[in-house]
Amino acid sequence: MSQSADFMELKEDDIRAHYEAAVSMLDGLDHTPRIATPKAPEATERSAGVSTGARRFRSTTRGLVTRSTARPEGVRLIDRVEGIGEDALPTAGQAAVLQNLRRALAIGLAIGDQFSEATGLVELKKENLEGRLSDAKKSEFGELLAAEALAVLYAFGNATAYLLAPSMTEVTVEIGAVEEILTDNAQLALHGAMWELDQELALFATDETKIAATVSAYVEQLMEKVSLRAQNTPRLDAFTSASYRIEADDLTINGFTPAAKAKGTTLTMTFKQPNEVVGNHIAKYQAMRLSKMIMAYDFDRKLNPFVDLGGFIFTFMGDGKPGTGKTTLIQMMAGMINEYCSVAGYPFRYQNLSTDNIDSYQGKSGQNAKAFINNVIDPSVIGFGTIDDIDQLAGKRGDRQSSAGQLEITAVLMESFAGANTVVRGNCTFGMFSNYPENVDDALRQRAGARFLVDGPITRDDYIDILYLLMGKNHDIPLGDHEAYAAQQIQKAVAASFESHNKPHEEGLMKVFDRVHSEIGELDTIAKMGTYLKGIQEADERFTGRAIKNITDAVKVRAMDFELPDEWMENPELFLFKTYDEKRDMIAELRQPITTEMVIQEINRYADSEFRYADKSDEVAIDAMVRDFGRQEEAKRRYLESKG
């Protein structure tokens, strides 16, 4: 669990104090590239007719002396931006881009000041300027300068992307990787950024419509590169542990997390009511409960009490045969969350990652997946992300049929769902859906903390209900001796579904269960249940420690086996608008005790799914090999015939 960072107000006066330095940087500076090479020869040439009287950049960082003996290259971003297009005067769009760049540079520099004050770097700069920095402090000084450079660069990129977002259009630009990331000090880091941004504008901003798109594409790449560099850079705690709030822009800089406006998405999908989801009792029940759980998220604390108490489902997988109701389940869950958010006035963001996001351009598929993740996990919204047909979208490592784009998506999802930097706040959930989960990479599949078996209608009553539902009302055929939707009463159906898992369903798991049960008797202690788990692992080596964590998480979910009252969703004052501690106490009072039956049922539910996936995966692989052998034999026969 990760607590939210402390908020620090970045005062408007402190930001505006850096406006002059920001304008000077945009107006003109000299920079000698150290890492990157010019991408466009014309990038160092100014537009025809532009005066040569641009001011030289004046250093505003006390305590630093930067020298270069190489030939510098002039960078005049104001000239560059205003020189794009046919109009002799700057347009409103060009002015807006330059104003946003000035604002973002000033924010970055102000955050650099805050960082220097918090870490003691400001005193070290003074000592360095006066020539009295001791040898013992030189290493610390260098590390803090590098950390400040990364913090300022990321803050600049983050603020630029945020400020440009309202003016972005459907026009997009694809640029290459950002290279000129310098960490000698914050001033030189920004010089490098301005030089490389000028390069990108010269190459890609061929008309005015592409100026903002090019700047946005550059800062997105800049943020990604800087955040990667920061993973191995010391002394960044002062930046990552504080959230810098800029009220005038409604912007919060929260470490190396991209900022986004708290805007929801307008959903155009057809919502479904719970009674319109026939069968799928456990999946429907858990989806309904999760829809209410997610609403307990506290926007001030940036944390959900269900994460604190245990029992929040961050990722889940829904699998079943084609036509069993996965899309309907998504429509139901999205509809419920959307309705709850509308009542509470919360921004709701739904996004689906589809096969359209697989791109032949190297690295683009991974970028698409990362953008999807970042949009959903944005702590300023309630998020629901779905990945339909994940077996087609995410590649299986080691499978020669998986494209580079699919493998990029797999890597991003694995890191995002259970990586070293994964933070579960409880404001969002991700659902992965597949007709063929056996084709999903094992490690990615095991990152699904919960399993929703979407098995569709099962009983006679289910089939009557779904026929009655789909027939609609434009007919006079009597219903007959049947009470519509009585079989879909959720509590009764779920209780029966859970009880059915007192014993395994899959034949392979049943053999393990019977063997262990005959050897040690009833599984009524932790030791006996652990013996059962070891027996499962011996039968399937893919059943690892992550599987045990998923099972225990599912047990904690069962301990929260209650629905938040509907009136809490209908009247936000009763629950949603209460403080974090009040919500936590209200939820804790409803918590159920954990029983041995719950543990056995969740072991069997999870292990059944793994055995089901493994059996299907093995059969698919065997069938493929048989077909390959058959083709080889036939090819050999035809070859010999042609030679004869």
- Number of domains the chain contains: 2
Residues 245 and 319 in one domain: no
Strand order in the sheet with 450-453: 348-353, 382-387, 428-434, 315-319, 450-453
pLDDT for residue 486 is more than 60: yes
Is position 489 within any domain? yes
Domain boundary, last residue among 254, 286, 303? 254
Least-confidence region, from 348-352, 359-363, 540-544, 636-640? 359-363
Is position 264 within any domain? no
Residues 160 and 285 in one domain: no
Q: What is the mean pLDDT of the chain?
A: 82
**CA–CA distance, 387 with 393 (Å, rounded to integer):** 8
- Choose between 54 and 37: higher pLDDT: 37
pLDDT for residue 596 is more than 80: yes
Domain boundary, last residue among 222, 254, 286? 254
Residues 183 and 110 in one domain: yes
Residues 283 and 246 in one domain: no
**CA–CA distance, 402 with 559 (Å, rounded to integer):** 40
**CA–CA distance, 177 with 280 (Å, rounded to integer):** 46
Residues 178 and 281 in one domain: no
In the three-class reduction of DSSP (H, G, I as helix; E, B as strand; rest coil), residue 643 is classed as helix
Is position 30 within any domain? yes
Residues 279 and 220 in one domain: no
Is position 416 within any domain? yes
Residues 242 and 375 in one domain: no
Residues 112 and 61 in one domain: yes
Residues 65 and 144 in one domain: yes
Is position 327 within any domain? yes
Burial 565-590 (b: 16+ CB within 10 A, else e): eeebbeebeebbebebeebbebbeee
Residues 232 and 293 in one domain: no
**CA–CA distance, 441 with 398 (Å, rounded to integer):** 9
What does the block give as tokens for 395? Answer: 């590649």
Is the CB of residue 165 less than 8 Å from the CB of residue 44?
no
Residues 314 and 448 in one domain: yes
CB-based burial label for 274 (10 Å; 0-12, 13-18, 19+): middle
Is the CB of residue 75 less than 8 Å from the CB of residue 189?
no
Partnered with residue 433 across adjacent β-strands are 318
Identify the CATH number of the domain in which residue 489 sits. 3.40.50.300
Reported as a single tens digit per residue, the pLDDT across 381-431 is 899 999 988 888 888 887 777 888 888 899 999 988 987 778 899 999 999
At 276 the pLDDT is 67
Length of the chain: 644
What does the block give as tokens for 206? Answer: 């061929």
Is position 195 within any domain? yes
Q: What is the pTM of this model?
A: 0.56
Residues 432 and 470 in one domain: yes
pLDDT for residue 53 is more than 50: no
- Among 145-149, 305-309, 335-339, top mean pLDDT goes to 145-149
**CA–CA distance, 448 with 454 (Å, rounded to integer):** 15
List the domain range (segments joined by +) for residue 32. 10-254
Is position 2 within any domain? no
